[in-house]
Structure 1
Amino acid sequence: MSRAVAIMFIAMSLIPAGDSAGKLLSSGLGLSPLFVAWSRFALGALILLPFLPDGSGALLRNWRIWLRAGTLAMGITCIQTALKTVDVATVFAAFFVGPLVSYILAVIFLREAVTLLRSTLTVLGFVGVLLVVRPGPEAELGVFWAVAAGVFYGTFLTMSRWLSGLGSPMALTFTQLVIAGTLTLPVGLWHLPAFTLPIAGLTLASATCSMLGNLLLLDAYRIAPATRLAPLVYFQLIAAVALGFLIFGDLPDGFTWAGLALIIGAGLTSTRLR
């Protein structure tokens, strides 16, 4: 389990890094969130292409693979739309309904073991998120998009556990990227920008960080149950707070540190339960 925790920590740091690059593209440079989402899928698939194991293409004939990739495409499109108008902290607050959704779905559909203590710890992790961001009513539409992203992402996490035996993490990551890129190709090309060096660099950074984060996430879900990994998704908030300070100048206050302590404590405690 300790290996899964380490993998999740790295993965949950890379994914917010990709989202921060996407926010710089949409809110800072004025690019469409639809292009940001599509470029993330397309470039990620191209980066993985030379490293694919034999037989990876056969997964594309499985309808469940398409359903999972469609869920991911919707989730990332929603969160990029939210990030265009809402600050990173508030977006992640609403987005973190995802672990709760994943936990509930894993119990209902995957019949994974559940205990009152682990359920309580998962809820406490979400309470910690609310302490960090304390979302207000001033950006209701953006928060709605972030909540939708969280629901899609929580569903995607559970489906990743469900389908983890169909192929290697690299093959599954490639299929989700190439399918999502195909589904979003028309809107991506419609919003294609005039490329500059900053746009090209941030686009590549967004795609690479997201791809590596999701690749490691699948590896973790291959070796550990979804109900035990769900609280660790809150680790994304550590990277989000750090990146918010380094890039956007947001300095954490007392509530933020208290929330982070609660999130990390609940997540780590949950992983130690049998």
Structure 2
Amino acid sequence: MTLIVGSDTAAKVLSEAGTSPLFVAWTRFALACAVLVPFMGLTRDDLQGLRDPFVWLRAGLIMAGISCILTALRTEPIADAFGAFFIGPIVAYVLSAWLLKERITPVRSLLLAVSFAGVLLVVKPGFGASVGMVFAVLAGCFHGAYVVATRHIAPSYRPRFLLISQLFLGAVVLAPVGLSHAPASLGITAIVLISISALGSAFGNLLLVQLSRTTPSSVIAPLIYTQLLSATVFGLVVFGDWPDWLSLAGLAIIFVTGIASLALARR
């Protein structure tokens, strides 16, 4: 989880220096795909999955989510952007109940309602919310839908195929727009930051895939909320950003209710 936040921190540095978020998003998919393919152990049967429209839908949702969060990070403090992004679990909960017929409980619904209040404190929709925060909320919505799409098709495919399929399709689909926004030249610093952005995300997700082979998802899931902590630390250390009191209160609410909700679901 910390590697993934670190990759977004590198992307924010690139974006603030003038590199297009769409180019950064494409490099994340393309470079990660190139590096991870040798570790995936793909077979010819795996490749048949690329014909599945749900595999394409899932990849499209994560492409949109990453493009939106990188666009948000161009102008927003990293902790605030992640706070808005955490509308995703709420979207996933609602869509899972509607589309996958998963069980709704009053206590979890209440916890997610409180979590939504925390998101509102971070986004501040009634106080001139910026365009960047709108993109962060959109990223969370796309990611919530992506989680539901993953739950829908996960029983049919190996975790490694699900990871490499989204990287491969992202690299191919985003190539035209990503390359059209490529800078005229890249210095050593930009190349290093692009590598951190792509490889941090890639190896963070690879670790999660490996962990999922031996560890129940109910144990892994709460780890996502540690991203709020690492995002706050990275924002302070790298950019000198400290959330205002409303945002800090919202982040705390999201973290506490998220852990409580997942602990309840696990039990």
**TM-score of the aligned structures, taking structure 1 as reference length:** 0.83
**What's the CA shift for 1:195?**
1.7
SS in 1 for 2:242: coil
CA distance in 2, matches of 1:272, 1:141: 34
Correspondence for 2:8: 19
Most deviating of 171-180 and 15-24: 15-24
CA distance in 2, matches of 1:139, 1:253: 14
Aligned equivalent of 2:61, options 48, 54, 71: 71
RMSD across aligned C-alpha pairs, in angstroms?
2.7
CA distance in 2, matches of 1:150, 1:257: 19
Correspondence for 2:117: 127
The 3 A distance-change label for structure 1 pair 87 and 136 is farther
The 3 A distance-change label for structure 1 pair 78 and 123 is same
1:36-62 per-residue CA deviation (whole Å, 9 max, x = no partner) reads: 010001011111110112323222121
**What's the CA shift for 1:90?**
3.2
Amino acid of the structure 2 residue aligned with 1:105 = L
Most deviating of 175-184 and 202-211: 202-211
CA distance in 1, matches of 2:37, 2:199: 13
Most deviating of 69-78 and 121-130: 121-130
The answer as to 2:233 corresponding to 1:242 is yes
Which aligned pairs between 1:195-234 and structure 2 lie closer than 5 A?
A: 195-216=186-207, 223-224=216-217, 229=221, 233-234=224-225
Number of equivalent positions: 260
Aligned equivalent of 1:192, options 182, 191, 197: 182
1:236-260 per-residue CA deviation (whole Å, 9 max, x = no partner) reads: 2112111111111123566565444
The answer as to 2:156 corresponding to 1:153 is no
Most deviating of 191-200 and 98-107: 191-200
CA distance in 2, matches of 1:15, 1:30: 21
Amino acid of the structure 2 residue aligned with 1:18 = S
Correspondence for 2:166: 176
CA distance in 2, matches of 1:197, 1:120: 49
The 3 A distance-change label for structure 1 pair 234 and 120 is farther
Instruction: Specify every segment of 5 or more residues in structure 2 that has no aligned partner in the other structure, as ranges.
Output: none
**TM-score of the aligned structures, taking structure 2 as reference length:** 0.85
**What's the CA shift for 1:139?**
5.3
The 3 A distance-change label for structure 1 pair 235 and 135 is farther
The answer as to 2:130 corresponding to 1:140 is yes
The answer as to 2:37 corresponding to 1:49 is yes
The 3 A distance-change label for structure 1 pair 241 and 126 is farther
**What's the CA shift for 1:121?**
1.5
**Contact 1:95–1:146 (CA under 8 A) maintained in structure 2:** yes
**Contact 1:169–1:215 (CA under 8 A) maintained in structure 2:** no
Correspondence for 1:263: 254
CA distance in 1, matches of 2:132, 2:178: 21
Amino acid of the structure 2 residue aligned with 1:243 = F
- Structure 1 stretches of 4+ with a deviation exceeding 6 A read none
CA distance in 2, matches of 1:136, 1:242: 27
CA distance in 2, matches of 1:114, 1:87: 34
Correspondence for 1:39: 27
Correspondence for 1:6: none
Instruction: Specify every segment of 5 or more residues in structure 1 that has no aligned partner in the other structure, as ranges.
Output: 1-10
CA distance in 2, matches of 1:44, 1:25: 17
Amino acid of the structure 2 residue aligned with 1:22 = A
